[in-house]
Chains A and B, each alone.
Chain A
């Protein structure tokens, strides 16, 4: 008998997470994450901020177990992710990467790509609906994926993630490889989807507009450690962080003023 879980447990619970890479190839050992703890409530958003190399992307990749922490624990939906099949976990917590990866073939082929036995509806109607959900024309399904613009590609990868009917979207700088108009379209898609599907979102982003639209908690990492954590309902106190979020700084502050 498994005891029923309390109904309000967070979707992600990160406890005392540390990740150290062993010395390799002449490189000294690297501490990527150090004692990071945070939780993300169902349907809410968490934004990971910090200078490059601060461990944001690695923390994100620990949530769907693309990266393996050296110590600490990640729970998804109340369960230690090491007790789950990571392939299933990754369908339920879908990752959108900084540079969209599309495979050879049509957009349709890219949306259909999946391992055998993947649950979900991959019918033509469902593909068209997913494409429309990210603001693209279903006519695009027949296009060769390499002919799409950067922004279209990124939205196709979001549609591909949605077809798995995930509970969470993990966004790794989804707009940083895009020009401002395309970035705005991706921000728009993500914000709309979140409300529509009540998705939980964890995002690494430097894009003030995306941060503002997600309106979630902020976790500010420096050298793998949590420097600041601002809950969604509290006011942001760090002046430079505020300036960044107001769009007055091009990148988040790299050190505490």
Chain B
């Protein structure tokens, strides 16, 4: 980030001007009777507090540059992501949070190890400037895909429970019987990523690239990083949704090849 000197600092007054933009949204909500004014205020306050806290914590972690602080930070991020991935399920899913935590941890660890250790080769491996933003982007993709996969799997098993039982009744194993629903859930989880790859850069500049360019990097350096980001997010998406679906399916089946229908 050699061009850091070219970044304009923002004063508190300027940030206050940015809040006026939320005022526009609140005004529209009130005018149209959308009833989301309160959520907008809470959301804005949360954004301010959360980002400030994260900024403070990041400043400390960057300053200390110790592997254990970095790992702790990653663990907290994963826990929050696991919670968020399962909080919007239409119905409760048995052991959902533990399943999400495991799927996100494994998929993120594998992808992150490859990106940091093999591709970028930043030294030391826990250099916060690289590992934390990259881990965040991987986790974000993994979280979204796990949430999509979980939602679709649950909905499909519920709607297509008769089909599952028909296969079981024909002598198929539990895993064989739910295979079509598992496959649909995986597809649903991965399609947004594939679509995103098709239009990346054409519709909007991805956040990381935008940030790098604002921070003074050349656009050509920024796209190199962005390509790594796109590919690593695709890998994280596939791994996280595959793991989540495999583990979640296990919760709806028994060793005797039964569908635990009352959980659906």
Residues of chain B lying within 8 A (CB to CB) of residue A88: 171
Minimal Cβ-Cβ distance residue in A for B94 = A24
Nearest-neighbour CB distance to chain A for B1, whole angstroms, equals 50
Residues B256 and A97 in contact, CB atoms below 8 Å apart: no
List CB contacts (< 8 Å) of B239-262 with chain A.
Answer: 254, 256-259, 262
Between B91, B256, B263, the greatest number of chain A beta carbons within 10 A of the residue's beta carbon is seen for B256
A73 within 8 A of B: no
Nearest-neighbour CB distance to chain A for B173, whole angstroms, equals 6
Residues B258 and A90 in contact, CB atoms below 8 Å apart: no
Contact of B258 among A68, A103, A118 (CB under 8 A): A68
Nearest-neighbour CB distance to chain A for B14, whole angstroms, equals 48
Residues A115 and B172 in contact, CB atoms below 8 Å apart: yes
If the complex has contacts A66-B165, A101-B162, are A160 and B258 also in contact, measured as CB distance less than 8 A?
no
Contact of B169 among A21, A26, A64 (CB under 8 A): A64
Question: In whole angstroms, how far apart are the Cα atoms of A82 and B256 in the complex?
Answer: 8
If the complex has contacts A25-B91, A65-B256, A68-B258, are A87 and B172 also in contact, measured as CB distance less than 8 A?
yes
Between A30, A61, A164, the greatest number of chain B beta carbons within 10 A of the residue's beta carbon is seen for A61
Residues of chain A lying within 8 A (CB to CB) of residue B163: 101, 103
Residues of chain B lying within 8 A (CB to CB) of residue A157: 166
Contact of A97 among B165, B171, B172, B258 (CB under 8 A): B165
Question: In whole angstroms, how far apart are the Cα atoms of A234 and B111 in the complex?
Answer: 71
A94 within 8 A of B: yes
Residues A24 and B92 in contact, CB atoms below 8 Å apart: yes
Count of A-B residue pairs with CB < 8 Å = 63
Residues B262 and A24 in contact, CB atoms below 8 Å apart: yes
Nearest-neighbour CB distance to chain B for A122, whole angstroms, equals 12
Residues B171 and A90 in contact, CB atoms below 8 Å apart: yes
Residues B262 and A97 in contact, CB atoms below 8 Å apart: no
Minimal Cβ-Cβ distance residue in B for A61 = B165
Nearest-neighbour CB distance to chain B for A63, whole angstroms, equals 11
Interface string of B140-176 (1 = CB under 8 A from A): 0000000000000000000000110110111111001
Residues A94 and B172 in contact, CB atoms below 8 Å apart: no
If the complex has contacts A24-B92, A68-B254, A101-B162, are A91 and B259 also in contact, measured as CB distance less than 8 A?
no
Minimal Cβ-Cβ distance residue in A for B261 = A67
Residues of chain B lying within 8 A (CB to CB) of residue A94: 169
Question: In whole angstroms, how far apart are the Cα atoms of A197 and B172 in the complex?
Answer: 24
Residues A97 and B169 in contact, CB atoms below 8 Å apart: yes
Question: In whole angstroms, how far apart are the Cα atoms of A95 and B171 in the complex?
Answer: 10
Contact of A87 among B94, B171, B263 (CB under 8 A): B171
Nearest-neighbour CB distance to chain A for B101, whole angstroms, equals 21
A182 within 8 A of B: no
List CB contacts (< 8 Å) of A83-108 with chain B.
Answer: 86-88, 90-91, 94-95, 97, 99, 101, 103
Which residues of B are interface residues toward A (Cβ below 8 A)? 91-92, 94, 162-163, 165-166, 168-173, 176, 254, 256-259, 262-263
A-B contact pairs, 24 of them (CB 8 A): A24-B262, A25-B92, A61-B165, A66-B165, A66-B169, A66-B259, A68-B254, A68-B258, A82-B256, A86-B257, A87-B171, A87-B172, A87-B257, A88-B171, A90-B170, A90-B171, A91-B171, A95-B165, A114-B171, A115-B170, A115-B171, A118-B171, A160-B170, A164-B170
